[in-house]
Structure 1
Amino acid sequence: MLNEIVSKFKELYEQEPIVVRAPGRVNLIGEHTDYNNGFVLPAAINKEIYFAIAPNRLHVCRVHAYNENQTDAFFLKQRISRSSRSWENYIKGVVAQFLKAGHEIEGFDLVFGGNVPIGAGLSSSAAVECGLAFALNHIFELGVEKFELVKMAQKAEHEYAGVKCGIMDQFASMFGEAGHVVKLDCRSLDYRHFSADLEDYRIVLCDTQVKHSLASSEYNTRRQECEAGVVILQKYYPQVKSLRDVTLQMLEQHKHEFEPVIHKRCLYVVSENNRVEEACHNLEQGDLQAFGEKMYLSHAGLQHDYEVSCPELDFLVDQTRNDDSVLGARMMGGGFGGCTINIVKLDELENFSRRIEAAYEQQFGRKPQLYVAQLVDGCSLVDKNQLFTYSEEAVAEQTALC
């Protein structure tokens, strides 16, 4: 695909591009904590969007979306308006943020595409936004700091894609580090990388390929339920601004004042924040077994206390509980469909794939889509001399899941 993207660029624009890569992301633990100002533990993965790009010394931006085989062009001297085609809004939104911030950018030519699955919860949109922001910053030598690029990418999604996302996805795509996860404090935006020694393991994503209609409405309900819990506790603890400031002791002491559902929601979030901190300690100690156990506890909380799982997700997690090749598994993302994330022994990838596909097909009449992933660096330039070098190991891992 990389070769084809660069070739398409040369065919369309008759010049030599620079190439940028931007990864998708997984979140190993810390779900539904971001909008409660809590902790998350994401990582960039080797499912990536690639950008072949160069200035064109015109006042027009000419863009070709490789995966969709669609083309767009818009002028910088005119107001950049939203489009009816969703992919265009990610591009336009990022360009608009640079212009709003007062940066001088000229027209450019772009071909972009990649292998981040759409709709699987791996943040393909954040990869597009961050990759383009990184690329524009580079080709026009703007000198914008990476953290500012992250915030611009987030604003692009808010204002042009119309999704009021948190900052985790863009942050992971930009600040990922090979072999590491990123502990992000969603209140202060402080972060720290933790080594994740997964040399003998791989992250395997099992996509249920379902998305239940409850997802969007229940997301808003969960936010309201968390806020209701905060209001109760603020009567006794004025310092509490969000569930991030709440301890399990506070919840227990005032449990009688909570409606049962509200208490369950708050209990999950406070417990999950604690699990993220404990999981980071497990990584520091090299205790992957304990880390995996935290993943199962996270899923149990999401299933029973936060109630955002679904039968398909629960089934996939349950299939791994007595599997010696799996360290840990849980649902990932908003819930009601999407993926489970699993840490699987490298030498058991093929067997794991066969078992999980057969069980899921027998239960639901269809196979899940499986993706294998490794932890990689965030957005970067690509050395075109190394673009098309693939290790035999990487090819074998992907083949095992086909």
Structure 2
Amino acid sequence: MHLLNQLTTSFQQLFQADPLLICSPGRVNLIGEHTDYNEGFVLPAAIDKAIYLAVGPRTDHELHVVAHDLNKTFQGSLAHLEPTHTWADYILGVVAQMRLAGYDFPGFNCIFSGTIPMGAGLSSSAALENGVGFALNELFGLGLDRIDLLKLSQRAENEFVGAKVGIMDMFASMMGKADNVIKLDCRSLEYTYAPLQMDGISIVLCDSQVKHSLVTSEYNTRRAECEAGVRFLQTFYPEIKSLRDVTMEMLDQHLRDTEPLIYRRCAYVVQENARLLAGVEALEANDIAAFGQLMYGSHEGLSKNYEVSCPELDILVDIARTHPGVFGARMMGGGFGGCTINLVREEALDSFTELITKQYKAQTAKDTYLHVCKIQNGTGIIKNQ
């Protein structure tokens, strides 16, 4: 792979050493959006778009990091890890969390690059965080398992970067398995792999080319709105811990007329959990048509009730609905831009590509770029030189 050769050569020239090479993938989520931080269910998979890292140890308690694609460098001391409000925070946050957890190491060098389209909602940040944690664990024999590492990545983003994200992105990137989706219970972290029986069907991402500038602030707002709904319902049902425990009957009785905005947010999450469980049954029955209809329902809820879509994402889904070779489509990720995920018959790929690129350009004056994804294994070593 040309990119790996570039990273290896750059690392050797800059640090006069051979690197450890790590691949840390992005993820798709077939259904179950914004349910993870509400202790619900998700159905993600790791994909063949990834962050690649070349790493090696230092002995002076410093870290030297090169963002190859950005042509930017960060140098700092392990003794002074403060947020920079730049890309470096995704790396510094993992280092800070490791040190808070009592894991010590004498510094490291890192050059990273990637094939994950930035701003497309494919979790490049989780991939980078996982890659850094995995690399440090390997370099210094820290003895952390994969679950430990992905939890560190989540804490890094929650507490250092300041985005109150759930566990799904990190889990999918770290724990992915080729040709399988992960049914993950975000409350217990119990998970099962389910073979993705989609012969003749492609996972196609349509990039809206809209970058989600609102996503961090609005993400935190949605989380707060969900938590407000739970607190309100706890006055009637003290046993409730999260929206995972809530039913539509509870919402209809206590929130629909008194708190209409909070009601819509909570209703979406409760309904999305139900859609996901129905979707798993559809996949197990190899009923892709039924699963696709649930994807459309998911998008409707995200757009109308949770209000994290945008006109461009809605247009992409509306166009996809008109093509007979498409089983289902919805926005994916935090929202306010990024990609839609589409299940498309392989023989319809060319006509789907032509339709969506022409129609999207006509309706938005923007281009869309399509990415056909394959499901791959999670974060791991490429080779140890």
Same-fold call, TM cutoff 0.5? yes
C-alpha deviations, 1:334-366, integer Å up to 9, x for none? 323222111122233232212101000011112
Bigger mean CA offset, 321-330 vs 207-216: 207-216
1:47 is matched with 49
1:92 is matched with 92
Note if 1:373 corresponds to 2:355.
no
| Structure 1 spans left out of the alignment, 5+ residues | 386-402
Aligned equivalents of 2:256 and 2:96: distance in 1? 50
2:37 is matched with 35
TM-score by length of 2: 0.92
**How much does 1:221 deviate?**
4.4
**How much does 1:269 deviate?**
1.4
- The DSSP-based 3-state class of the residue aligned with 1:206 is strand
1:347 is matched with 347
Asked if structure 1 preserves the Cα contact closer than 8 Å seen for 2:282 and 2:291, the reply is: yes
Aligned equivalents of 2:161 and 2:249: distance in 1? 40
2:209 is matched with 209
Asked if structure 2 preserves the Cα contact closer than 8 Å seen for 1:179 and 1:198, the reply is: no
The 5 A counterparts of 1:1-400 are 1-76=3-78, 78-84=79-85, 86-211=86-211, 215=215, 218-254=218-254, 257-383=257-383
1:399 is matched with none
**How much does 1:4 deviate?**
0.8
**How much does 1:99 deviate?**
2.0
Aligned equivalents of 2:260 and 2:91: distance in 1? 44
**How much does 1:225 deviate?**
3.8
Q: 1:217 to 1:132 in 2, by over 3 A?
A: closer
Asked if structure 2 preserves the Cα contact closer than 8 Å seen for 1:195 and 1:283, the reply is: no
TM-score by length of 1: 0.88
**How much does 1:216 deviate?**
5.0
| Structure 2 spans left out of the alignment, 5+ residues | none
Bigger mean CA offset, 273-282 vs 342-351: 342-351
Aligned equivalents of 1:331 and 1:70: distance in 2? 31
Q: 1:64 to 1:212 in 2, by over 3 A?
A: closer
**How much does 1:383 deviate?**
3.7
- The DSSP-based 3-state class of the residue aligned with 2:49 is strand
Q: Which one-letter code corresponds to 1:382 in the other structure?
A: I
**How much does 1:384 deviate?**
7.4
Q: 1:213 to 1:48 in 2, by over 3 A?
A: closer
- The DSSP-based 3-state class of the residue aligned with 1:306 is coil
Aligned equivalents of 1:43 and 1:377: distance in 2? 9
Asked if structure 2 preserves the Cα contact closer than 8 Å seen for 1:229 and 1:258, the reply is: no
**How much does 1:187 deviate?**
1.8
Aligned equivalents of 1:304 and 1:181: distance in 2? 27
Q: Which one-letter code corresponds to 2:84 in the other structure?
A: S
- The DSSP-based 3-state class of the residue aligned with 2:210 is strand
Aligned equivalents of 1:100 and 1:223: distance in 2? 26
Q: 1:214 to 1:140 in 2, by over 3 A?
A: closer
Q: 1:56 to 1:252 in 2, by over 3 A?
A: closer
Q: Which one-letter code corresponds to 1:66 in the other structure?
A: H
C-alpha deviations, 1:170-208, integer Å up to 9, x for none? 111101111111122222222222221234222211121
Asked if structure 1 preserves the Cα contact closer than 8 Å seen for 2:163 and 2:220, the reply is: no
**How much does 1:256 deviate?**
6.1
Q: 1:72 to 1:337 in 2, by over 3 A?
A: closer
Bigger mean CA offset, 188-197 vs 171-180: 188-197
Aligned equivalents of 1:48 and 1:214: distance in 2? 24
**How much does 1:276 deviate?**
0.9
C-alpha deviations, 1:91-111, integer Å up to 9, x for none? 222222222222231232221
Bigger mean CA offset, 113-122 vs 280-289: 280-289
- The DSSP-based 3-state class of the residue aligned with 2:25 is strand
Q: CA RMSD in A?
A: 2.2
Asked if structure 2 preserves the Cα contact closer than 8 Å seen for 1:331 and 1:339, the reply is: yes
Aligned equivalents of 1:284 and 1:118: distance in 2? 33
**Would you say how many aligned residue pairs link Structure 1 and Structure 2?**
383
Bigger mean CA offset, 18-27 vs 245-254: 245-254
Aligned equivalents of 2:21 and 2:153: distance in 1? 19
Aligned equivalents of 2:236 and 2:154: distance in 1? 35
C-alpha deviations, 1:99-152, integer Å up to 9, x for none? 222223123222111111111111111111101111111121121111111111
Runs of 4 or more consecutive aligned structure 1 residues displaced over 6 Å after TM superposition: none
- The DSSP-based 3-state class of the residue aligned with 1:337 is coil
